[in-house]
Amino acid sequence: MKLLQPYRLGKFELKNRMVMAPMTRCRTQGEGVVGPSTATYYAQRAGAGLLISEAINISTQALGMPFTPGIFTEAQVHGWKQVTDALRAEGSLMFAQLWHTGRVGHSLVKGGALPVAPSPVPIVGQEHFTPAGPQPYETPKELSMEEIDQIIHDYRQAARHALAAGFAGVELHAAYGYLPNQFLADSSNLRTDGYGGSIERNNRFVLEVMRALVEEVGPGAAAIRLSPTSTYNGIAHTAVYAQFQQLLQGLDGLDLAYVHLMNSPFNPADFPDYPANAVQTFAPLTRHPVMANGGFTRESAEAELQQGAVELISFGRPFLANPDLPKRFEVDAPLNALDPTTLYSGGDKGYTDYPFFEKR
């Protein structure tokens, strides 16, 4: 299988083309610090050619969900160092996914501070998980130009901390409706200054962040995750193809490790101007290696690779429930069933206790 063959990703040698996708698990020990169980969790899945961490908050302001990790304090960096050390012992490498949730948060999670966003536009039709239970989204505070500069600085510092924590590189979470995606989308970015009002200006924030990340981690060690057709968290684009075509052209001017493209489930009748398959539509538009994500199975992942438009496939929930997923794919073994009740419940149940396959 091509999926199980080694692959050279720039300066990195991967044991296969299978990537563990970033998945929020809400299992920090407090103050955004990951503990020994997190090191065990990732080390169990070291058979992946590359692992991408769960989304990591770049600052206190970035926090959106409770019990999620950070990388802006010394204790947080130390916690992640234990994770990367455990993976290095297994001969594996890991990228840190850098996260700012923007308006996808709530003051009850943020010590009373309102979420921030490109424009004061709340998410409607959804609720946010808080310590007081699900709550309607609040109207976020519009970011000033000075605050935007500070956030770019925070991304830069987070990248520096990621290297200190032993990560091989970083991935910008610019998908799924979080802050970078909010700048990209017409539905959430109503600005008319240098950061909104046209395709070029809507793309500006993401490109500036990516330039900062490349400067910090060096060529071939920064990446980006995009979900051009995702409508989650109130995201909509009026010219999705033109915008992401231009964004990918801008990213081609940087030396990136890869572009991580997500296929998103939506009703085509509701968005007739959206391409039905984001990976196949946008992968040919970039010079960088493409990592594809979105509901892939053993068979569909292999077929996607054989078509030649993408080089890597990332798997989320299959890796969560099957720590030895590459081995299971190799021998075509059955997969463990996922327990959805333990996705964000805390503790080791549904985290480090999924069984490994043993051929009898």
Active site (catalytic) residues: 178
According to DSSP H, which parts of the chain are helical? Answer: 36-44, 74-89, 145-164, 179-184, 199-217, 240-251, 278-282, 298-307, 317-321, 325-331
Among the listed residues 53, 40, 47, the one whose alpha carbon sits nearest the alpha carbon of residue 94: 53
Per the listing, tokens 């698990």 go with 25
Helix axes 145-164, 199-217, angle to 10 degrees: 30
CA distance 196 to 311: 33
Residues in CB range of 120: below 8 A, 6 or more apart: 139, 140, 141, 142
Distance of CA 107 to the CA centre of its chain: 23
φ and ψ of 349, to 5 deg: -65, 130
**Phi-psi label, residue 15: left if phi above 0, alpha if psi -120 to 50, beta otherwise:** alpha
Two tokens, residue 59:
């600052």
DSSP H helices in 222-359: 240-251, 278-282, 298-307, 317-321, 325-331
Residue 170's nearest CA partner among 219, 106, 105, 116 is 219
* Distance of alpha carbon 249 from alpha carbon 171, whole angstroms: 18
The residues, ordered by sequence, that sit 6+ positions from 268 with a Cβ below 8 Å of its Cβ are 274, 276
Q: How far is CA 150 from CA 47, 98, 209, in A?
A: 38, 15, 11
Q: What is the dihedral of CA 20, 22, 25, 28, to 10 degrees?
A: 100
